[in-house]
Every structure is written in structure tokens, then in C-alpha cells.
Chain A
Amino acid sequence: MTSTTRTHATPSPGAGAAAPREVRVAVIGSGFAGLAMGITLRQRGETDFVLLERAEDVGGTWRDNTYPGAACDVQSHLYSYSFAPNPDWPRSYSEQPEIQAYLQATADRYGVRAHCVFGAEVTAARWDDDARRWQVWTTAGEFRAQVLVSAAGALADPTYPDIPGLDTFEGTVMHSARWDSSHDVSGRKVAVIGTGASAVQIVPAIQPQVESIAVYQRTPAWVIPRTDHPVKPWARRLYRLVPGLQRALRGVLYASREFLVIGLAKRRAFLKPVGRLARAHLHRQVRDPRLRAALTPDYTIGCKRILISNDWFPAVSAPNAELVTAGIAEIRPRSIVTRDGVERPTDTLVLATGFHVTDLPIAERIRGRDARALAEVWAGGMVSNRSTTVAGFPNLFLLVGPNVGVGHTSMVYMIESQVAYVDDALRTMAAEGLAVLETTPRAQEAYRELIARKSQGTVWLGGGCASWYLDEHGHNTTLWPDFTFRFRKLTRALDRENYVGIPAGAPVREQGEAA
């Protein structure tokens, strides 16, 4: 297996330099989702698969986001695989290095690292209807697979702001997700653009070292206290001795977070206490009325992601900090100019400006039966059946695709739900001897309606904010707008009636369209 991998590890500039490698399943990505898929494949006895990873290590978002202070906003007991509990989490909310180490260890423990092809960025994938296989071109060679699973992730490709003069800046520019640890920020005049989940972690982590820090804010976020604490050694021993205890704790954490859904998606009045908590947190930590006003959101809490931090407000009100609310007019070689005509000298620019979420770049690279890219099919908004399959894209499964995102709880729960669904689809294909499995436009439409109906009245649509949860048409195409256990129920088993299957050996037809 590994030797074959090596053969393809060398990127071949000319097509046909090496014969395409045939696999049953090709998985794009080796983050939380890709690894979960790989582990599940291994456990069902499948060994003929690869994880195509553009970087040189597993971990995905947790490998890439190495900025100072990077940590998870969900407790580790919950933000981890259900099948791989870790009694040794050092903190209730773990930091990036621990989570990445957990992913590496899990990949090794379940033997999926051997299936990883590193340095293999998928440049294009196309469904070959004649061969009934996916053709996948990567920077490490060509692959052909019966089944393609995209686990490329939603927080994978950084977005860069479109600010005049950004390319003329002579200092150091770093996106939060592409942190350059060789650049020492101490004594620097730092500018941070963005006040989202990454910024509230970076700013407190670097503020004490830098000469000055200007935080450019477009919209303030609601911030609630972070109840983070180290996990005591005796507690870790206890988790090791009584695994059921950690499972129970996980259940409690899951349930308590799920209560938030009532407020977010059902009855907004239930968010009021959370809003009061956030307001009190701000009042306690920021004295200056003007700064307080600038940090107070004008939309309902929950509309944008609720942030958790105990040191964000103190950091932006530190003696060397300034919160800038005037919009940026332009960036000059050594400064940033805001629309009010103020020019602030800057030598380090941190772009905490998020990711391509509603316009996933992988969607431009995957082409279905009629050669149209997923991005084209999705031009009017991302659609799918059960967030996982798309009509016109046979044998393609999307993990962390449309309407599967969650802001209130562990994404790993959603990933495991989807992986179980894909697992059942593969089992169905094997049981029925199907070469091709494709969902129907009707199923897709029904799912779109389901999502639209569930999204009605949610705080994300009605909370009075613009967020990365909504696409350019104002539709919710990223979040699962209900209790997460309902998504799990929906994806427990393949909804066979919503799929058209073509048995292996059946003659190739023009279209596998359902009636």
C-alpha cells in the first residue's frame, strides 16, 4: 500500500506520466471528517481507499490553525470522536496542539495514516459515466475511484478581504489560518482585521507582547464567559478507570448545549438569559462607555456565532490596544487608513477574516455527470439530499457540506452522523450489487424545503445580522437548523427511496434519472 503511494507521490506534470491509481474509495481531506471516514472504512473491512491530503500531515483545520491562542469553543469531552474517547485531555477546552495531537494519534491508532497520500491536492474530479468511476486529478497524480467522499471541510480555505492596497503592504501579512510562527510579533505594531472566533483568541494571546494592537471591527460579537479549567490528574485517572464516566459527562455536555437550539431555532425568548449573560460579561470587563458601546452588538444573540472568551474584552481595553470601528479605506505600505482619515502605522497585519464557507472552493473542482461543476449547480445556493449527496453527482458523498454546520455544539457529532450515512450507503451498494448510487432532484428539493421550513423563525434568519451562515441570497445553506439528534435520526440509515441505483454490469444508459 505505502509503496504504491510512493509511486504517485511525485507530481507528474504531464498527463499520463503514470497510470491512474485505481481505488474503491477516494476521500478528499484528512481532518476530523476525512479521518472519521477512513476509520469507518477500515472498520468495515475496506482497505482499498486513499485519503487525499494536500498538506503533509493529517488534522485539517486543526493542523492549519496554529495561531497563538487557537483553541476549541466546545469542551473536548464532547469535541472528540465518540469511538475514541481521550481521558487525558489537559483542559476542559483544549488548545490546538492537543487537538492536533489527538487527531494524529487517532489516525495512527486506527491505521488510516497508511492510507493517506500527502501532498495530494485535488485539482479536479470528474464523474466518468462510461466507466462509472470518479477520475480525480491531484498534485500527486491521478486516481480513479468508484466512490468519492469530499471531506474537504468548510473552514479550510481562508478568505482574504478585498481592501485597496493590501498587496502594497510592506510588513508581514498573515491570515489567522496560515500563521507564520517564525514571525516574532513582540514589539510590533500589529493590526488585526476581524473580530470573529479567531480574532478573539489571537488578540489576547499576542496583546501583552506587541507594542500596539489595533483591532479593526466591522460588527461586534456577543461574547460569553469561557468556563475553561485544567482537568485535574485525579479526574484523568478516574476517566481512565471508569470510561463510562467520561461518556456520561459527554452526554451531559451534549444535552446542555442542545438546549441552546430551543432559543436559536425555536423560541427566541429562550436566548434572553444568554443575552443577559453576555451583556453582564461586557459590563463587568469594560468600563469605558464608548468602548462598551462599540463592543455591543445590535442584533439578537446567536444570529452570528456566539463567542466564548474571558480575555477578549480585557485585551481590547489594554493600554496598548485600540478598537477601530471606522471602516478601512486603504492599506499603505506601512500603515492602514480608515475612512475617517486616520492613518495608523502598522508593521504586522493579521487577517482574521474567516473562510470560504458558502462558496466552498472544492465545489469548483468537482464535476458531475453532465460535466457541470458542483459550484455551477450550486450557483443559486447549495442544495443536497441530507447534506450529503447531490443529484447529478453519482457516488459522491459530501462531509461537512451544506446545512450540516453547527454553531452551538460539536461538529464531530454531525460528522459522525454523516459518516454513518455514507457507511450505510456503501453497505447498500454492496448488498444490492450497485455500481452507481445517485440521489434524485426530487429528494434534493424536499430536503431544501425541509431546511427552509426549519430555518423559518430561527435567529440566524431573523436576528438582524449578516453572517457567514447565510449565502449571498440570504438563505441558510450552511447550518443545520434544528436539534442535532434530529439530523442523526435523518442520517441513521440510507433513505433508499430517494436514490437511483444502477447494478454493476448493467448497460450504460444515457441518464440514470428517476421517474
Chain B
Amino acid sequence: MTGTLIRTVRKRTAAVPTTDGARLHATVEGAEDAPVTVVLAHGWTLSQAAWDDVAGLLADRVADGALRLVRYDQRGHGRSTWSSPTHPESGLSIDRLGADLAGVLDQLVPTGPVVLGGHSMGGMTIMCLSATRPELFGDRVRGVALVSTSAGDLASDPRSAGGRMARIRPGVLTAALTGAGLLERLRGLVPPTHPRHRTVVRDLLYGADATDEMVLEGARIMHASSLRAFIEFLPALGDHDKRTQLDALTRVPVEIFVGDSDKLTPERHSAHLAEALPAARLHRVERTGHMLPQERPELVVDGVLRLVAGATGRDVA
């Protein structure tokens, strides 16, 4: 054995195959025998890098062996692929993302307690998982953090940016997808470093306290995602509705976070979730936008650690 001079954290990269031929890029950090695993699902047109600040704050706990951290790129985002051409994407839905998350759990975390965290579309992903695999909740899944997300009805809010986008007609989307190459090139003309680009991103996604550095980092992550991810998931987000299928989530501790300046999934969506999940803790965060995990990572980490404590406490018995 060689002398150990530095404290080390185990890390591995995994490609999780889905039932329809996609491969999801996942990063697993921490000891395999950690008492609990935290699995984080990111939002639309982002990637697992959107959790970097949260992961950074959790790093010590991961290194101590207190928890294992799994992050993955949703299909079509980051390094994850789309389904194989032999499995035509028959109406991409958020339910499909729920099934992907189930695959991540089955293959990377087959045993032991789990805490799930989802931001925006990632939160919807968890709701879909709870609707299709309710048996996991309470048994395997011991806690859920829902950040800047919604149980549905996104399209009916005409004032929200999400609502406005969800009303874009499918024909327009198809046309956009066909011209994606051209649009990509046009998009390249206004890179994230461009002041105008950052102004748009800041106005849409961030609260008053966000630093320029934060906005640039977020813009970079979004710029790296493909137009296809933007276009293909847009109608799916509008169709997402799990408002009457949240029963499984009542069985586990839930922490809900929302920024008061969130324009994509405004406060009322989180308020509705809190109503449907009476035991859940709702955190309304001032001067904060949709990118809450990046804007207030310490709050999210506190919530996750409360859930981890609860999950392991029960596990000891």
C-alpha cells in the first residue's frame, strides 16, 4: 500500500443506458458505502454543472463519507445523448425524464436510502418518478428537495415567462428545429460574454443579488446546451401536470424552495406544492430568481442536509 498524504474523494463517471437507447452522463462522488446518497436532477437547458455550487458546499461531507453525491445530465443535455434513432422520440415528456431518473437510481444506487433534489425541470422529474414509482418513496427515497419548480399549469400563467414560452406553437418549434444549425450559428454571434446576452439572462433568471460572475457562469452552462434541448422540451414542460398525483411525496420529508423574483416558475407554483404537501417546508427566498441553486446554494445545502439527517436517522434503526 502506498502512503496516503492527501484526503481523497472517490469519483467515477458512468454512462447510464435508458430503455430507449439514450445514455445519461452521471458523476458519482463519495464512498460506495456512504449511509445515504443524494441524487440531483438539473433543469431545462442546463446540465449537472448547475449544481456545482451546491456540490462544492457538500464536498466536505462527501469526503467525510457522510453522503454520496450523484449528479447526472438529463437526456439531450450536457453529455447525455438523445434516444437512439431506432427508438423514435414519440412525444418527449417529463414522464420520460422520471423514467430516466428511475434508471439512474436502479443502476447507480440500487440499495440504501436516497435523498432527491430537483431544480425546475429536475423537480418535475422527481414528481413524475413519484407518480410512476410511488413504492420507492418512503422506502428508498427518504427526502426530496424541490427547488424553483412546479407541479403543472405552467402554460396558463400568461404573465410568466414560462407561460409565454409554453404558448409558442408546435409548428414554430418544428421549423426552429429544422433550422437548428442556422439558429445555432446565429446564437454563436451573441456569446455569454456579450453584455446583452448577460442582461437578458439576468433579467429572466436571476434575482437582485446575483453577481455578474454568477450570471456569466449560468449563461455559459445554458449556452452549452443545444437548441434541440430547448425546442424538444418546451412543449413537454407545458404539458407537465402532476397536481393530482403527488401522493407519494406526502410520505417523505420535502423541502420546497422558491425565489420571490422567479419569472419561470413563479411563487404560486411552490405555494401550490406546499398546499398539496402539508408536511413540506416551504422556503420563500427574497431577492432571488429562478437560478436559486446558484444564487443561494447554502440554503439548498441546509435543506439537503436536513433531509440527509432524517434519512440516515431512520436508517440506523
Contact = CB atoms under 8 A, between A and B. Distances in A.
A330 interface: yes
A333 interface: yes
Nearest to B223: A289
A211 B2 contact: no
Nearest to A346: B12
B78 interface: yes
Nearest to B2: A165
Contact of A329 (B6, B13, B24, B26): B6
Contacts of B79: 288, 317-319, 321
Contacts of B192: 289
Contacts of B16: 319
A318 B12 contact: no
A320 B11 contact: no
Interface in B1-34: 1-2, 5-16, 23-27
A482 B78 CA distance: 44
B242 to A, nearest CB: 27
B67 to A, nearest CB: 16
Given A290-B49, A319-B23, A319-B81, A341 B7 contact: yes
Interface in A326-346: 329-333, 335, 337, 339, 341-345
A319 B225 contact: no
B2 A189 contact: no
Contacts of A343: 8-11
Given A287-B225, A288-B78, A343-B8, A320 B14 contact: yes
A227 interface: no
Nearest to A287: B224
A335 B10 contact: yes
B25 A320 contact: yes
B63 interface: yes
B294 interface: no
B80 interface: yes
A345 to B, nearest CB: 6
Contacts of A337: 6, 8
A168 B224 contact: no
Contact of B11 (A289, A332, A339, A342): A342
B3 to A, nearest CB: 8
A289 B220 contact: yes
A233 interface: no
A335 to B, nearest CB: 7
Interface string A302-329: 0000000000000001111110000001
Nearest to A345: B12
Contacts of A290: 49, 220
Interface string A108-123: 0000000000000000
Interface string B220-233: 11011110000000
A345 B27 CA distance: 13
Name which of A165, A287, A317 has the most chain B CB atoms within 10 A of its CB: A287
A320 B15 contact: yes
Interface residues on B, range: 20 to 34
B2 A214 contact: no
Judged by DSSP, the binding face of B is mixed
A341 B13 contact: no
Interface in A241-294: 287-290
Contacts of B224: 287-289
Interface in B63-111: 63, 73, 78-81
A409 interface: no
A358 interface: no
Contacts, number: 81
B47 interface: yes
B12 A319 contact: no
Contact of A164 (B2, B9, B27, B78): B2
A290 B192 CA distance: 13
B6 to A, nearest CB: 5
A212 interface: yes
Contacts of A165: 2
Contact of B47 (A164, A288, A330): A288
Contacts of B63: 341
B14 A212 contact: yes
A333 B1 contact: yes
A344 B7 contact: no
Contacts of A320: 13-15, 23, 25
B9 A342 contact: yes
Interface string A185-213: 00001000000000000000000000111
A322 B73 CA distance: 14
Given A319-B15, A319-B25, A287 B7 contact: no
Contacts of B26: 319
Given A319-B24, A320-B23, A212 B13 contact: yes
Contacts of B2: 164-165, 168, 330-332
Contacts of A213: 13
A189 B6 contact: no
Nearest to A283: B188
A333 B27 CA distance: 22
A214 B293 CA distance: 28
A341 B8 contact: yes
B69 to A, nearest CB: 13
Interface in B233-265: none
Nearest to B52: A290
Contacts of B14: 211-212, 320
A344 B25 contact: no
A342 B63 CA distance: 9
A164 B23 CA distance: 35
A172 B49 CA distance: 32
Contacts of A339: 6
B8 A342 contact: yes
Interface in A415-454: none
Contacts of B1: 168, 332-333
B186 to A, nearest CB: 15
Interface string A156-176: 000000001100100000000
A343 B63 CA distance: 11
Nearest to A288: B224
Nearest to B221: A289
Contacts of B25: 318-320
A319 B17 CA distance: 10
Interface in A25-74: none
Contacts of B8: 337, 341-343
A22 B8 CA distance: 61
Give the 7 A-B residue pairs with the shortest CB-CB distance, closest first.
Answer: A320-B15, A319-B25, A319-B15, A343-B8, A165-B2, A319-B23, A322-B13
Given A319-B79, A341-B7, 9 more contacts: A189-B12, A287-B225, A289-B220, A318-B79, A319-B26, A319-B81, A320-B14, A320-B23, A329-B6
16 contacts: A164-B2, A165-B2, A189-B12, A287-B226, A318-B25, A319-B25, A320-B13, A322-B27, A330-B5, A332-B2, A341-B9, A342-B8, A342-B11, A343-B9, A344-B12, A345-B10
Interface of A: 164-165, 168, 189, 211-214, 287-290, 317-322, 329-333, 335, 337, 339, 341-345
